[in-house]
Chain A
Amino acid sequence: MTRTLISQAQIRRGRGRYVYWTLLLLTVLAFTLVFIGPLYWMVTGALKSGQEIAQTPPSLFPKHPETRNYADAWSNLNLAKLMFNTFYYAAGAVFFQLVFDTAAAYALSKLRPVLGHVVLALMLATLMIPAMVVIVPQYVTAIDLPFVHLSLLDSPWAIWLPLVANAFNIFLLKRFFDSIPEDLIAAAMVDGASPLRTLWSIILPMSRPILGVVSIFAVTYVWKDFLWPKLVMPSPETRTLSVGIYAFSGGTPMNVVVAASVIAAIPTVVIFLIFQRNIMSGLTAGSVKG
């Protein structure tokens, strides 16, 4: 443990120890209230009847917990279908990002064709473009693809293809591949391995942690995204969870909307609790050392 702002010795002895433990327990309490409190309120609020939720002061525990709101949300909003859609888009996003972004990062890191650095610069430049600025021309492109004049509306490709154009992934993957020793690649080449074979049998097995990070980010991105799927998936049959709940929120009792929101949030929370280490390290990997 390296030394931080306050030295270990000061925390261990006398007054410092009391201050440390008081502050720590207060922080733990405050954080639990601030970050878990609203979630508790959300989950239990949706267990209350319409009458109980409107009473003042509000009850801390539901008096007659009933799962009717959750059942209503599940059936009235057709959450099973929405969840399947979202999952399907997320799975496709993982697949296409892994295939195309890994291949691209490998080419930029190891094969290094002429003008590769220009391509990389152009890709990274897109990180500077604010999303709202290009949303309209992106939409216009998606509803009428140049040259072929196909519309991607209501097609999963409208979600999958734009997600491949993810400069952050390319950057993360390329940086990871850069750290793989050149000798290893050269050895494989001498043994007669083709570039594809090298990627598949040498690079990818070594890159499992970063591939995991990219996959988890792809899933959570699709699960959280709102405006783009709202625009390109206008039909009720193709909507994602967030968009579907929003579309129904106008004419649905608020407890049912919140119940649906709870259900929609479960998958990402579960993913987070399982992969929290990878997620948190992946988040900081791109920012601090880069």
Chain B
Amino acid sequence: MATMTSAPEASPTPRADVRPPARTRRGRKLRDNLTGYAFLLGAIFCFALFQWFPMIRGIVMSFQHTRRGVTTWVGFDNFVRIVRDPSFGTAWKNTFYFTVLALILGYAVPFVVAILLNEFRHFKGYLRILVYLPVMLPPASALFLFKYYAYDPSDAGLFNAVLKFLHLPTSEWMQSPTMTMPAMVIASTWMNMGAAVLIYLAALQNIPGELYEAAELDGAGLLRRIWNVTIPQTRLILALLAMLQIVATMQVFIEPLILANGAGTQDSATSVAYLIYQHGFFQNDLNGAAALGVIMLLVLAAFSAVYVRLTTRQD
């Protein structure tokens, strides 16, 4: 080393294989970070504008009032007005009722269907395509089919014709306040269950066959194998989908809007989401609608917190 001439040391730029001095290393790191954020810029911009900012703004709006371009803070006035809306109680009652009915029908059915489909060795692709087909239809299209053809209250309607053929009592469907909710849940389940079935099917395929083998050797019957192998093995996905479904059905909107023209017979279809829509876009009460949105967020957050706590405590 000592014999080296001074020429390379005098070289102003470091060679590639020599560790660069600290200053350029820091410069390089800065440049790498800037490049990284340059790639992120478009997405961050859109997230900020249409997700992060509106989330905060919704909360801020719910405590404000805007009249003729002048915004003032009004405390809890919007919340009081919304809670006093005569439809407020009905909307929550309907929404909970829809959620519970959808859970009974729309939650158990896809799981049973998935267990059944997983056993078949023939027509696998065909059955899968059938279940998922309604998911691909635009909801507005599917709901007009239900509204005009299936739920036709006369005997010319599809459902009434089938009921009559089976010598069962026919129904007025959407014109009967008691049938409105079940009818909406049937339509909603028909439209949406395909996704849940496919997710369950994927989960069922991940269950190691040896578990069933062992259970059978131990003398476990069919139901016992479902109860002691299938359900524990798919527990996580079952718990997750239950929560996702409840959060989704609590926001039910297009079913009442199209099937029941919004409120339905004797207010039997009004949902919380529909009330948000009414306040925000028909009664020119965007602040009240934002307040109702905040209430909905609190209810869903409280529910999710309790749910997560309950499902994880079982471990």
Contacts and interface: CB of A to CB of B under 8 A. Distances in A.
Interface of A: 1-7, 11, 20, 23-24, 27-28, 31-32, 34-36, 38-39, 41-42, 45, 53-58, 96, 99-101, 103-104, 106-108, 111-114, 116, 119, 122-123, 126, 128-142, 145-146, 161-162, 164-165, 167, 170, 195, 199, 220, 223-224, 226-227, 231, 241-243, 245-246, 249, 254-255, 257-258, 261-262, 264-265, 268-269, 271-273, 276, 279-280, 283-284, 287-288
A132 B296 contact: yes
Contacts of B44: 104, 119
Given A5-B212, A28-B126, A38-B158, A136 B293 contact: yes
Nearest to A253: B148
A135 B293 contact: yes
Given A141-B57, A265-B141, A287-B237, A272 B126 contact: no
A142 B277 CA distance: 16
Contact of A123 (B43, B61, B276): B43
A288 B202 contact: yes
Interface string B113-152: 0011111111100111111111011111110111011100
B289 interface: yes
Given A123-B47, A136-B289, A245 B140 contact: yes
B223 to A, nearest CB: 10
B280 to A, nearest CB: 5
A141 B127 contact: no
Nearest to A42: B145
10 contacts: A5-B118, A36-B130, A103-B40, A113-B34, A128-B304, A130-B296, A170-B43, A242-B138, A272-B136, A273-B129
B120 A27 contact: yes
Contacts of B47: 122-123, 126, 164-165, 167
Chain B contact residues (Cβ within 8 angstroms of A): what range? Answer: 35 or more
B96 interface: no
B311 interface: no
B199 interface: yes
Given A31-B127, A136-B293, A261-B144, A280 B198 contact: yes
Given A3-B213, A288-B203, 6 more contacts: A2-B208, A31-B131, A41-B145, A54-B156, A132-B273, A287-B240
Contacts of B207: 4
B106 to A, nearest CB: 14
6 smallest CB-CB distances across A and B, nearest first, come from A113-B36, A3-B209, A104-B43, A100-B42, A107-B39, A137-B54
Nearest to B208: A2
A77 B202 CA distance: 41
B284 to A, nearest CB: 12
B111 to A, nearest CB: 13
Interface string B146-181: 101110001111100100110000000000000000
B225 interface: yes
A92 to B, nearest CB: 13
Interface in B20-50: 32-37, 39-40, 42-44, 46-47, 49-50
B251 interface: yes
Interface string B272-315: 11001100110000100110011011001000100000000000
Nearest to B195: A283
Contacts of B129: 272-273, 276
B85 interface: no
